[in-house]
A and B are shown apart, each in its own frame.
Chain A
Amino acid sequence: MGWKSPTGGSGTGWSNIPNAYDEELSTYALGPATSEPVYDSPVELTVSPLLCDRVRFYVYWFPTLPFIKVEVYYEGGYHEIYIGTYIDKTWIEKDVIPGSSGQAKVISKMRLSFMHYMIVDSAKVYEAYFNAVMPRLMKYYKSRRAG
């Protein structure tokens, strides 16, 4: 249980995607260069389905006014969990169920899209993780066994 790295990824216009899950903060996946004020092509990161209550990411974009859209995949579709500003090169955590800290879903993918203005630049995704949690029933039996 705990933070799990993705095991695969893809994204149109993205390069070096494995760097987004190599557990190294010195390397990054590079997004497509854009200055359009719309969310660009996302990078999709995959993992074997796991019960997950949060995702976290460490990303960079040039200091204009960066926005990120975070989506996670469960129950047959993508769900937007966060839209808004973010801080460059800072670990940022978001709940899988907006406003419901600790609630989990069986997640198999996340998608990150970026938007900024003014200059042509590319997003960099250094790392992203899924937080795997223990099913409540398993927690109950473990606590009983422990005593």
Chain B
Amino acid sequence: MLAKIQYNQIHHYVRQVMDAEGDVSNKDILQIDVTFPEFPHLPTYGVVVDYPFTVESVKAAVGIVAVQAKEQMTKDVIVKEQLKDSLEFDVEV
């Protein structure tokens, strides 16, 4: 599954984060948007990676999103099949 990082949606931000004790601090992050060209109906997914980053950390983050997208697609296919088996897609109510 090919994942494409959108060049115009790569940002280095400083964001506030809260730890388990409720303490708020600033943290540098890389925010990137990822699309899946083979599946144009899927949305863009936003991913955050700690900054400074490594190629491996970016690939790992993109990989997690790809798995989530695949899982969602699988669920959608199943539910569409279930509907198809029992109903027409245009339902008169």
Contacts and interface: CB of A to CB of B under 8 A. Distances in A.
B31 A80 contact: no
Interface residues on B, range: 20 to 34
A63 B15 contact: yes
B66 interface: no
B44 A82 contact: yes
Given A87-B31, A99-B35, A63 B44 contact: no
A88 interface: yes
Interface residues of A, number: 28
Interface stretch (B16-24, B52-60, B79-87): B16-24
Contacts of A70: 43
B42 interface: yes
A63 B46 contact: no
Interface in A62-97: 62-65, 67-70, 79-88, 90, 94-95, 97
A70 B35 CA distance: 15
Contacts of B17: 63-65
Given A63-B16, A90-B13, A85 B48 contact: yes
A13 interface: no
B43 A81 contact: yes
Given A63-B16, A88-B16, A98 B24 contact: no
A118 interface: yes
Interface in A32-83: 62-65, 67-70, 79-83
B7 to A, nearest CB: 9
B44 A84 contact: yes
Contacts of A7: none
Contacts of A82: 33, 43-46
Interface of B: 4, 6, 8, 11, 13, 15-18, 22, 24, 31, 33, 35, 37, 40-48, 65
Interface of A: 62-65, 67-70, 79-88, 90, 94-95, 97-101, 118-119
18 contacts: A63-B16, A63-B17, A63-B24, A64-B17, A67-B46, A70-B43, A81-B43, A81-B44, A83-B46, A84-B48, A85-B47, A87-B15, A87-B31, A95-B44, A98-B42, A99-B35, A99-B44, A101-B8
Q: Which 6 A-B pairs have the closest CB atoms?
A: A84-B46, A99-B35, A63-B16, A80-B43, A98-B44, A85-B48
